[in-house]
Chains A and B, each alone.
Chain A
Amino acid sequence: MAAKGAEVEYSARLGTHPGILLTLPNQEDPVESFPGLYATNTVVIVTSGPMEGYITVPRSGYQIWPSGISSRGEYIGGSFLGSHEYAIKSYKEIVFDPESLQFFEAQEPNERAVLSLESSLRRQPELIRRIEDLFAAGEGEIFEAGEESEFSKGLVEVVKQYGAEAVKVVDNLILGNRTHPTVAAEALCVLGDLDDTATYESRSLLLTKSVGSKSSRIREGAILGLCHTNDYRSITALKGAYASEPYAFLREYIEQVLQILEEHVREET
């Protein structure tokens, strides 16, 4: 398993240890071993260390962003929008093709990527159920800016209780298109606004990935969420989003958010 990871060629800049890439079977066939990880759009990247940056699948233009990093830096679960034809036939089979993948923003070569997938990726079924129920109930709520909703209260509570694991489950729901865009957008705003240092990185990553969503409502939620995180590192992603954003009103939102983030950077320096 590890040897293949070492064969991957990538352009190295930031981060460490990109590892073995796995994807799961199609979405209609959730993998029991990894509850909550549904397959079509889900990629699992196993690494021996923490990783920053992202992976692209050439010819598809899809970006796979790491979205969950264990406390030991053992793995990253990522999602991408699009078909899974580039990836795997089975979740137990390593099928990445070194020529079909490029790792960007990686600092050092992957020396070894060995992991027990089952132990590190197994989710807590009750956590998944709780979050899925929360999102399902959210579809019946009317969200109003400036007011707490049952959904937002529930989401804040579960993220504070379960940390990055909860954000990972939310990530799978949103990027796997398994929730209504309105609820997804609300979740992204709430996550951006959350005052919780422990999940800052995972929330920021989810928001950054979501600005590339196909749904304009999800993109809107991600743009607003990024503004609330005050994370200047998202400036690059937002500039990229601006360039590809088809709707003028969302480009105007991005401009405003960029202005706020850049002001924040100036104040810091």
Chain B
Amino acid sequence: MATYLRKVEKGRWHPREEYSDLEEGDIPADPLGDLQTSRNRLSVWRIENDEGDEEENRSNLNRIATAIAATRSKPDDIHYILISSDTLKELDIRVETSTGSTPDGEANRRWHCDLLGLSARKLLKMANALFGQVYPEMIAKEKIEEYLRAGLESKQLKQKSLQLGMLVKLGIVEPRTCPNCGMKIEF
């Protein structure tokens, strides 16, 4: 069974008990913020799950998390939810491979996908199905920094595609200095 990763923000997929003003059967609006579509498509990443070999499970998870992290302006925790293909099938949502736009070209080609044909109703149905069933998982910033450095070293990440602020925070490049006053420029 395939699994798809969707990056989310912390605090948005907390359990129902956290919302005192929620009516029976309703879900909070915040998770919808993590399901923002473009041209009725939702960007997700296919996670490798080889059921025959436990070791292989989620074998590309860290790489995908690193690719996503590499699009940011500074290292930070990555939060994500995992959506099973069964859930998508039940919701009649199709998946199509597409090219991602992170600094990891191989990850973009191999694992990036779009969920297709999403209408407002379908999206809400999906949020309903996911809320309370999936919970966010996290890779801490400290690990992400390690993966980013390794990714740059192995050239799996294209350095020129990373933001300057990120490279400075990782200690890969020196902060720029103002030619007039000599102050270091903040990012």
Contact = CB atoms under 8 A, between A and B. Distances in A.
Interface of A: 142-148, 181-182, 185, 189, 193, 215-217, 220-221, 224, 227-228, 230, 247-249, 252-253, 256-257, 260
A181 B9 CA distance: 14
A174 to B, nearest CB: 14
B83 to A, nearest CB: 15
A185 B18 CA distance: 14
Contact of A227 (B18, B75, B137, B141): B141
B143 A260 contact: yes
B10 A220 contact: yes
A217 B72 CA distance: 23
Contacts of B140: 224, 227, 256-257, 260
A216 B69 CA distance: 24
Interface of chain B, main secondary structure: loop
A252 B77 CA distance: 14
B136 A215 contact: no
Contacts of A253: 138
A224 B10 contact: yes
A148 B74 contact: yes
Contact of B142 (A145, A217, A260): A260
Interface residues of B, number: 26
B79 interface: yes
Contacts of B76: 145-146
B9 A143 contact: yes
Question: Which 10 A/B pairs are nearest by Cβ-Cβ distance?
Answer: A146-B72, A249-B135, A146-B76, A145-B76, A217-B11, A216-B14, A260-B142, A227-B140, A253-B138, A185-B11
B17 to A, nearest CB: 8
Contact of A145 (B10, B18, B135, B137): B10
B33 interface: yes
B73 interface: yes
A221 B9 CA distance: 12
14 contacts: A146-B75, A147-B73, A147-B74, A189-B77, A217-B11, A220-B14, A221-B10, A227-B141, A228-B141, A247-B135, A249-B135, A249-B137, A253-B138, A256-B140
